[in-house]
């Protein structure tokens, strides 16, 4: 018996299908499809058929068939227009050639160095805030993670050389993230993207040239990637170096910023769990103590909170592939030429795997519950399979450091009570959120009830 294609979600319009709703409310559209049809269903985006698959076994097949019957490069042409053929945007053989370059940059000894740099950068930010005041958290965290990425990946000297202009140009790249439109249309947002990339390349070009002319003067992340040989003994060409740097620094702040801000917000919205975090900081990493690797692994409650934010507030709502050969998912056949997606916001909230899935409950990751261990592909905020994010540990360590140092230094209060998810075609972030802060008077003390405007913080 020939299997049929997946059932279509209700609400498709003539010609457009679900395209308008996909741009306006992707999670709502996918949620409706899940309610109507279960784990496998179809969307229509103009003339493009899309299969959405949900559930750990489907998610496993999605990731394991990538580079087989599913293609990862084709659906991300909008990223290729920004960064060229780098990593998963490159043909498979070229991806395999490049992958060791990046893996080398995230080895254990380098990660230890990055954690030290993270603490220096975050501490400098905290000292610059003064003793009390208010900040808009989301934009502050965006700038902070850019500072971390720049200091870690480029080094302090080069980071200072490129200046804020370089980072501000990333806003023009982000505005051009659009998976629906051909990325080379002569639209204003794509023209600005190309101008921004050209200017960023212009800033990096003399820095790379200097490093190649005087290799003995430098020993850092940037020099590693500039001078690295592949297995054939060939150095990376200058254009690829620039594209790798642009892509790595984009990934190093675009997705991390939202989840770092959400970690602070959700902890403040959940004071009982926040108290566990504060007690842990006081015990493991009180004021003045450097967070070395031994202390880092003891910050369990913060690490679980970061994991819970990955589950509840993933930076990317959908991961995409193009079907290269007909493939079966459940009772359905997905034909070649279809687009395929998995959806974190639904897949991360399946009651069969996560108890009371809508609640912020980091203790679900404690050893006695270990809900994330029920299935290897139950939680996939950083992707899965061969293409799982190489910088995952970097991002998680950064979020742990920001959380630990911020709460160690300040008593905090949410002024904005109803933060929402700001969804664009790029990474999701919290909407504008005002935080009131006051530097702790003692080396570290848990907050008192009523410390700020009659609230426990």
- 191-228: per-residue pLDDT in tens? 999 999 999 999 999 999 998 898 888 877 788 888 87
Q: Which two tokens stand for residue 287?
A: 């004021």
* Contact present, 149 and 252 (Cβ < 8 Å): yes
> Dihedral sign, CA of 115, 116, 119, 125?
negative
Q: What is the token pair recorded at 142?
A: 């965006």
Q: Quick check: 54 and 346 in contact, CB under 8 A?
A: yes
> If residue 142 lies in a helix (H) or strand (E), which one and from where to where?
helix 137-153
Q: What torsion do the CA atoms of 407, 412, 417, 419 make, to the nearest 10 degrees?
A: -40
- Nearest alpha carbon to residue 188 among 202, 200, 172: 172
Q: What is the DSSP letter of 375?
A: -
Domain boundaries defined on the chain: 1-83+317-351
CB count, 10 Å around CB of 161?
14
Q: Sign of the C-alpha dihedral, residues 398, 404, 405, 411?
A: positive
Q: What is the pLDDT of residue 449?
A: 39
* Residue bearing tokens 């050893």: 367
* 395 alpha carbon, distance to own chain's centre: 8
pLDDT of residue 222: 84
Residue closest to 101 by CA, chosen among 205, 222, 209, 206: 222
The low-confidence residues of the chain, meaning pLDDT below 50, are 445-457
Q: What pLDDT sits at residue 196?
A: 95
CA distance 184 to 193: 10
Q: What is the pLDDT of residue 172?
A: 92
What is the reported pTM? 0.92
Helix (H/G/I), strand (E/B), else coil: 421 = strand
Q: What CATH number labels 1-83+317-351?
A: 3.30.43.20
Q: β-strands 339-343, 48-53: how paired?
A: parallel
* Radius of gyration over every alpha carbon of the chain, rounded to an integer in angstroms: 23
């Amino acid at each position: 018996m020939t299997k049929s294609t997946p059932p279509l979600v209700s609400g498709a319009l003539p010609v457009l299908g679900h395209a308008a709703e996909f741009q306006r409310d992707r999670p709502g559209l996918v949620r409706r499809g899940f309610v109507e049809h279960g784990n496998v269903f179809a969307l229509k985006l103009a003339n493009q058929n899309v299969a959405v698959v949900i559930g750990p076994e489907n998610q496993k097949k999605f990731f394991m068939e990538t580079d087989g019957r599913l293609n990862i490069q084709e659906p991300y042409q909008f990223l290729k227009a920004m960064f060229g053929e780098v990593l998963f945007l490159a043909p498979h053989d070229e991806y395999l050639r490049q992958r060791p370059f990046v893996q080398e940059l995230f080895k254990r000894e380098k990660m230890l160095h990055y954690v030290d740099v993270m603490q220096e950068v975050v501490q400098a930010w905290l000292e610059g805030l003064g003793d009390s005041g208010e900040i808009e958290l989301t934009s502050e965290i965006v700038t902070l993670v850019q500072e971390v990425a720049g200091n870690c990946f480029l080094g302090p000297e080069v980071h200072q050389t490129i200046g804020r202009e370089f980072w501000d140009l990333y806003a023009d790249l982000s505005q051009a993230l659009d998976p629906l439109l051909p990325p080379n249309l002569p639209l204003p947002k794509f023209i600005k993207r190309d101008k921004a990339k050209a200017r960023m390349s212009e800033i990096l070009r003399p820095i790379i040239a200097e490093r190649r002319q005087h290799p003995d003067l430098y020993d850092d992340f940037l020099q590693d990637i500039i001078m690295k040989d592949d297995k054939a003994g060939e150095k990376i060409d200058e254009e690829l170096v620039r594209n790798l740097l642009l892509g790595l620094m984009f990934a190093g702040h675009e997705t991390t910023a939202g989840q770092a801000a959400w970690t602070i917000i959700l902890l403040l919205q959940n004071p009982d769990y926040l108290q566990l975090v504060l007690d842990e900081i006081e015990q493991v990493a009180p004021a003045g103590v450097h967070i070395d690797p031994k202390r880092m692994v003891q910050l369990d409650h913060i690490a679980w909170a970061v994991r819970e934010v990955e589950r509840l507030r993933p930076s990317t709502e959908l991961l995409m592939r193009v079907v290269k050969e007909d493939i079966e998912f459940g009772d359905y056949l997905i034909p070649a030429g279809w687009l395929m997606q998995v959806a974190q916001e639904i897949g991360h909230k399946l009651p069969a795997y996560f108890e009371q899935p809508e609640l912020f409950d980091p203790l679900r990751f404690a050893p006695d519950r270990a809900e994330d261990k029920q299935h290897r592909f139950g939680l996939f905020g950083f992707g899965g399979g061969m293409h799982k994010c190489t910088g995952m540990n970097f991002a998680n360590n950064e979020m742990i450091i920001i959380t630990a140092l911020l709460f160690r230094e300040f008593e905090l209060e949410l002024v904005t009570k109803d933060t929402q998810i700001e969804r664009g075609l790029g990474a999701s972030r919290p909407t504008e959120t005002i935080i009131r802060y006051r530097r702790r008077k003692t080396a570290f003390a848990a907050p008192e009830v009523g410390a700020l405007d009659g609230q426990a913080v």
